[in-house]
């Protein structure tokens, strides 16, 4: 893997993945494995910034691992590991907490949004998790971090913390760059096409789960919100619903938006919605089959977690020791 840039990506195992996660990010991770030195993290430490049912979080961690492998993440090509199994994340996070500023954390957009929903019981972890995210990235001396527009701010914070630490103590961390290459599509809710598709949506008709049965997928697309016209035409401003469906159909079939407009000219929304549902169901079928097979062997998944944690730890603890020495900690002999 020499001469390859290192890429770091993480995803929380806090719910069922949607086609928004898949088409927006995860699908593109597969191709990156051949061109880069990749680490893929199941960020279960980030998941507990909001209340989780322990048994469900454990189960979803296995499900997340199986799904990442089902879409094509290969533990022989990449390092695939569970965040909590590498203690260096928490240890470096504390050191970086002593480098980060309250003001820069309070300006983080996601904190403002999420804390508004928690009222007077805001947890410290929700405020502080961007520092843990910086530790995730900096531990592995990552060159590139694939992000969407809503995560760019977190990479900028990681860069600021790295540069501040490097200036204070001498060069220690690689300063990461946000990676926008092979950008995924921003998949929106089927019921509110002005909002991003989310696995935490209280309306189950708003999202397509990666494990939804074909008949459920087709039914949800038939119920998708569009507009009062009938023309299948791409116009995100005035036709957000139909434009979102066109984006999804493009992701599922690899057709261009122009080709889709031509294919469905004069056919109306009914035929198009049905076609989108069928295309998505077909695209997910082989993934679902592989996922079910992988999830049936927990022992093998445990082995993959153990191997990934060992590989990640070799890199992470080397960086952690360097940072500990720089701040003046006495390391065990």
pLDDT tens digits, residue range 187-219?
A: 999 999 999 898 878 899 999 999 999 999 999
Separation CA 178–CA 7 (nearest Å): 10
Whole-number Cα distances in Å, 170 to 55, 139, 279, 319 = 43, 16, 53, 14
Separation CA 34–CA 296 (nearest Å): 28
Choose among 43, 106, 79, 58: nearest CA to 314.
79
Q: Quick check: is 114 catalytic?
A: yes
Q: Quick check: is 273 catalytic?
A: no
Model confidence band, residue 1 (pLDDT cutoffs 50, 70, 90): very low
196, 222, 290, 326: which one is catalytic? 196
Q: Quick check: is 239 catalytic?
A: no
152, 199, 222, 307: which one is catalytic? 199
The more confidently predicted of residues 25 and 161 is 161
114, 290, 322, 326: which one is catalytic? 114
Q: Which residues contact 201 (CB under 8 A, 6 or more apart)?
A: 189, 191, 207
DSSP state of 5: P
What are the contacts of 264-271 at 24+ separation with CB within 8 A?
Answer: 264/232, 265/232, 267/232, 268/230, 268/232, 269/226, 269/230, 269/232, 269/242, 270/222
Q: Give residue 138's pLDDT.
A: 98
pTM of the full structure: 0.90
Domains of the chain: 6-185+298-327 (3.40.50.620), 204-293 (1.10.240.10)
Q: pLDDT per residue over 144-191, tens digit each?
A: 998 876 678 889 999 999 999 999 999 999 999 998 765 457 899 999
Q: pLDDT per residue over 52-99, tens digit each?
A: 999 999 999 999 999 999 999 999 999 999 999 999 999 999 999 999
Classify 48 in phi/psi space as left (phi over 0), alpha (psi -120 to 50) or beta. Answer: alpha
Separation CA 52–CA 14 (nearest Å): 8
Q: pLDDT per residue over 242-300, tens digit each?
A: 999 999 999 999 999 999 999 999 999 999 999 999 999 999 999 999 999 999 999 99
> Counting beta carbons within 10 angstroms of the beta carbon of residue 222, is it exposed (0 to 12), middle (13 to 18) or buried (19 or more)?
middle
């Amino acid at each position: 893997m020499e001469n390859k840039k290192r890429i770091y990506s993480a995803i929380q195992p806090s719910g069922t993945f949607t086609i928004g996660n898949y088409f927006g990010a995860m699908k593109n991770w597969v191709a990156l494995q051949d061109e880069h030195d990749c680490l893929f993290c199941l960020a279960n430490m980030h998941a507990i910034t909001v209340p989780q049912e322990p048994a469900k979080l454990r189960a979803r961690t296995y499900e997340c691992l199986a799904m990442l492998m089902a879409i094509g993440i290969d533990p022989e090509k990449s390092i695939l590991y569970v965040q909590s199994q590498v203690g260096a994340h928490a240890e470096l996070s504390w050191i970086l907490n002593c480098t980060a500023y309250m003001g820069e954390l309070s300006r983080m957009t996601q904190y403002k949004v999420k804390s508004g929903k928690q009222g007077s019981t805001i947890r410290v972890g929700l405020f502080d998790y961007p520092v843990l995210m910086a530790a995730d990235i900096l531990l592995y001396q990552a060159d590139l971090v694939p992000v969407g527009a809503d995560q760019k701010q977190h990479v900028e914070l990681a860069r600021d913390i790295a540069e501040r630490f490097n200036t204070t103590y001498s060069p220690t961390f690689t300063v990461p760059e946000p990676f926008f290459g092979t950008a995924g599509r921003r998949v929106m809710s089927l019921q509110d096409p002005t909002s991003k598709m989310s696995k935490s949506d209280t309306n189950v008709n708003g999202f397509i789960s990666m494990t939804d049965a074909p008949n459920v997928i087709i039914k949800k697309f038939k119920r998708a919100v569009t507009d009062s016209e009938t023309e299948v035409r791409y116009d995100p401003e005035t036709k957000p619903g139909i434009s979102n469906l066109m984006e999804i159909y493009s992701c599922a079939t690899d057709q261009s938006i122009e080709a889709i407009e031509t294919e469905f000219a004069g056919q109306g929304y009914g035929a198009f919605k049905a076609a989108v549902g069928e295309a998505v169901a077909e695209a997910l079928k082989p993934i679902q089959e592989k996922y079910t097979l992988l999830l049936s062997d927990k022992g093998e998944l445990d082995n993959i977690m153990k191997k990934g944690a060992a590989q990640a730890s070799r890199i992470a603890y080397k960086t952690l020791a360097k940072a500990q020495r720089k701040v003046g900690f006495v390391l065990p002999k």
